[in-house]
Chains A and B, each alone.
Chain A
Amino acid sequence: MSAVNEVRDSYDVAVVGAGPAGLTAATACAAAGLATVLFDEQPAPGGQIYRAITQTPVQRASILGNDYWYGARLVRDFQASRAQYVPGATVWSLSREREIGVSTGGAARLTQAKRVIIATGALERPFPIPGWTLPGVMTAGAGQILLKSGAMVPQGRTLLAGCGPLLWLLAWQYLNAGVKIDAILDTTARASRSAAWPHAPAFLFSPYFRKGLRLMLSVRRRTKVIAGVTGLRAEGNSRLQQVAYRTADGAEIRLPADTLLLHQGVVPNVNLAMSVGIEHRWDDDQLCWVPVVDGYGGTSVDGVAIAGDGAGIAGAWAAEERGKLAALAAIRALKPDTRQDILPDEANIRLALAKVERGRLFLDRYYQPAASFRIPRGDTIVCRCEEVTAQQIIDTVALGCTGPNQMKSFLRCGMGPCQGRLCGLTVTELMAQTRGVPPAEIGHYRLRPPVKPITLGELAALPKDEAAIKAVVRG
């Protein structure tokens, strides 16, 4: 029997994503007696940060670190709750009436929820350098997934390049696991560093400050870090052979490499939210689209909230608190007479949130990737699905395309299976630069469901009975 048959026709609350935000949101809603379901694509709860926490083959606790194992508590609380958990479930559509399309085990269902909490987290920002599509080049996030769920680590000559906390965390975890890292090519831009300094005092009080510092020092002790890297390119015939870069003195250097792990920060995963028409704005600090949310994650679409990094990058601890706030709003709306001691304690949550969000702007500015790493030129690939280059996109502006939606009709850029997840930001910034207007004016792809591919067979099997079919064949 397929797991999809366990999906009911309707729920009070449907939560999408089993990272820290989704876990706390679902736990709190279920505690208040709301019929709650949690859909997640992965086979086990934890999201990105606590991925595979209940089943990772990485047994030595010190490899992944305490911050990873901390997640076990969130998962335990969730598992003890009465929320229904549907793993391996891809949510591929959400309508403004909060009808959810979900697939699991090769079968699809439509279900209805009174409230939806989107907790689909973050994605790595695209890092479109020459050669980034060569086999042997992958993102740090992908590297980390292989480590957590499969205890797999790169073999041979390994380079990490880019900037941002996750790059350092992965380096640290690799080193703990005994991986030899040949070098870390640090692309943190000098201009970003200076722009961040005014916010440094606030960051001194962030819980991330001491942890981050300790982790960086530990990495620096054990591997070579090359600062001020520019002009990064991956080279090789059919797979990665070497990595070229420049440093401040201008000379081009080449390092042989079998694996290059790229990373320059994370951005909200907005596809599901945009596909339901939630209003977004361009964030000039995080250089990405961010949904417009109220203090509880509520959005411009009635009954749909966003919690966690999907509502703006703030990290796992903040996600946990933001999940509870979204749950609070759902409980108040659906069960206003819920006893005070069952409700999440808003004052405490807000205190905790303020603490972990302190100095966030410092991190945003400090790790803001340089334009040359975000906005490619020439024949560097932008869209991996359709192999569209930067120059091709620039050329459509001359044809009269003013934004991504016109452009994609010509190049199919963004129309592949990834639905623009891997190229969306690059395209927005590239067209903005070409036209000399701000990214907000360029806009993003109009995203339409299914936000993740489903098979024709799954779709064909959706209507359950003849009455349902009659209801749709009208006029």
Chain B
Amino acid sequence: MAAPDVIVIGGGLHGCSTALHLARRGIAALVIEKDHVGRHASGVNAGGVRRLGRHPAEIPLSVASMELWHAIRDLVDDDCGFQSHGQVKAAEDEAEYELLRRRVEEVRALGFTHEELVGRDELRALVPAIADHCVGAIVCRQDGAALPYRTTLAFRRKAESLGARFLEGTRVTGLRRQAARWQVETDRGAHEALHIVNAAGAWAGAVAAQLGEPVPLEIIAPMLMISAPLPAFLKPVVGATGRPLSFKQFANGTVLIGGGHRGRPDPATNWTDLDFAGLALSARTVWDLFPPMRDAQIVRAWAGIEARMPDDIPVIGPSRTSENAWHAFGFSAHGFQLGPIVGAIIAELIATGHTNLPIAPFDIARFTRPA
């Protein structure tokens, strides 16, 4: 088989999206995944497709990605379970409402209008089940949620249909430059390519270190839990302001509860230990905000293994030590929504050396530059 132009390390959404956008440009990619595609953060996350509350640096990317989400079927031939019932961030008191008001102003000042401040009545209209004490919210009406594993697999299938190849159960163990090409060693043989992409999620730190640019990446395990089906009572995804929460009901009635609290990951074995004291806090938040949920049965909880950077924004762009090496990792528990656009950016960088989207804030040099 002919050597690929690009080897993508990691078969999460970012790796699959990169492979897809490369394939659309006629560039042959080989994705190497140590477990199976979508096994980690990309397959088990909360599925929130959210621009609401993004770090200012992420807003342009998030907005561009949202356009791709709204046409996701055209991109991957599957609707990915994407539904756009909006995202809501509720304020529980006047002080929180004031914070939200300032936030919306800040976003407007940057030239974006997707975040909208709403008062008590509008919040009730959007989320009738929310507790009485909530005074208002930010809403992003075109935001929504999708099914993460189905999405990741759809990207993979479409990429494959356009010629990308996938090697699962294969771990990249070493990277060498030789005659202006990359020699990629794995636990099941070596491969070579002109470019490499580090989309290794929680394990991306090891790849960056191999390239001589170690980063302060923290491996985290955000937790989620889900209820038995309840009668429909909620359309948008709801978050809170003063405490971590992500709360949504699926079409089948089950309710997904997440936000903030973390388990303990063991990235070497893919194991995560849940922290029920943390889940209890999420449960208490839901207890306060959604009284009808109090008798709901929690049937399952889990955690995904994810990379977090100290400034909570990802690393996207070229390696600063090696030629033809590219990074897309460190999504800090909110990279699902960015998947469609980040793959496009990396493919564009590889094909043209340039992108119009503002990626300077995501430069790996911010961590490796001598202080």
Interface contact B297-A454, CB-CB below 8 Å = yes
Interface residues of B in 249-302 (CB under 8 A from A): 252, 261, 271, 273-281, 283-284, 286-287, 293-302
Q: How far is the CB of B171 from chain A (nearest CB, A)?
A: 17
The verdict on A456 contacting B295 (CB below 8 Å), with A110-B276, A469-B281 known, is yes
B38 cross-chain contacts in A, Cβ below 8 A = 406, 409
Query: What is the CA–CA distance of A412 and B226 in the complex, to the nearest angstrom?
Result: 12
A285 close to B (CB within 8 Å): no
Chain A contact residues: helix, strand, loop or mixed:
loop
Within 431-475 of A, Cβ neighbours of B (below 8 Å) are at 446, 448-450, 453-457, 459-463, 468-469, 471-473
Complex Cα gap A448–B270 (Å): 13
CA–CA, A412 to B251, complex, Å? 13
Given contacts A406-B149, A456-B227, A472-B275, contact A463 B297 (CB under 8 A): no
Question: How would you classify the secondary structure of chain B's contact residues: helix, strand, loop or mixed?
Answer: mixed
Query: Roughly how many angstroms separate A129 CA and B302 CA in the complex, as a whole number?
Result: 32
* Known contacts A456-B283, A463-B281, then 19 further A-B pairs from the complex at CB < 8 Å, ordered by chain A residue: A93-B274, A99-B276, A406-B36, A409-B149, A409-B150, A410-B149, A415-B299, A448-B302, A450-B298, A453-B228, A454-B298, A455-B294, A455-B295, A455-B296, A456-B294, A457-B283, A469-B281, A472-B280, A473-B261
Q: Complex Cα distance A456/B279, Å?
A: 10
Quote the shortest CB–CB distance from A407 to chain B (angstroms): 10
Residue of B nearest to A99 (CB): B276
- Judge whether B300 and A450 touch: CB under 8 Å: yes
Residues 401-432 of chain A: 1 if any B CB is under 8 Å from the residue's CB, otherwise 0?
Answer: 01000100110100111010000000000000
- Report which of B252, B277, B283, B296 forms a contact with A468, defined as CB distance below 8 A: B277
Residue A96 CB within 8 A of the other chain:
yes
Check if B239 is an interface residue, CB within 8 A of chain A. no
Contacting B at CB under 8 A, from A79-100, are 93, 95-97, 99
**Distance, CA A412 to CA B254, complexed state (A):** 11
Determine the residue in chain B with the shortest Cβ distance to A469.
B281
A-B contact count (CB 8 A): 105
Residues of chain B within 8 A (CB-CB) of A93 are 274, 276
B43 CB–A CB distance under 8 Å: yes
**Chain A residues, CB < 8 A from B153:** 399-400
Judged by a CB distance under 8 angstroms, whether B50 is at the interface is: no
A95 in contact with B274 given A456-B295, A462-B280 (CB within 8 Å): yes
Q: In this assembly, does B157 line the interface, its C-beta being within 8 Å of a C-beta of chain A?
A: yes
B210 to chain A, nearest CB (A): 28
Number of B residues near A (Cβ < 8 Å) is: 38
Contact B228 A417 (CB under 8 A): yes
Contact B280 A460 (CB under 8 A): yes
Residue A236 at the chain B interface, CB threshold 8 Å: no
State in angstroms the CA–CA spacing of A96 and B276 once bound together: 13
Q: List 11 A-B contacts (CB under 8 A).
A: A101-B276, A406-B38, A419-B299, A450-B301, A453-B299, A457-B294, A462-B283, A463-B284, A469-B281, A472-B278, A472-B281
A453 and B298 contacting across the interface, CB-CB below 8 Å? yes
Rounded to whole angstroms, the CA-CA distance of A461 and B280 in the bound complex is 7
Judge whether A448 and B274 touch: CB under 8 Å: yes
A450 touches B295 (CB 8 A): no
Given contacts A453-B298, A456-B283, A459-B276, A409 and B43 within 8 Å (CB-CB): yes
Partner of B299, one of A110, A409, A416: A416
A6-55, CB < 8 A from B: none
| In the complex, chain B residues whose CB is within 8 Å of the CB of A472 | 261, 275, 277-278, 280-281
* B277 and A471 contacting across the interface, CB-CB below 8 Å: yes
For the complex of A and B, the 3 pairs showing the least CB-CB separation, nearest first, are: A462-B280, A409-B149, A459-B283
Is A449's CB under 8 angstroms from B283's CB?
A: no
A412 / chain B contacts, CB cutoff of 8 Å: 252
Contact between B279 and A459, CB atoms less than 8 A apart: yes
A231 on interface, CB distance cutoff 8 Å: no
1/0 per residue, CB under 8 A from A, across B132-164: the answer is: 000000000000000101100100110000000
A460 touches B287 (CB 8 A): yes
A289 to B113, CA, bound (A): 55
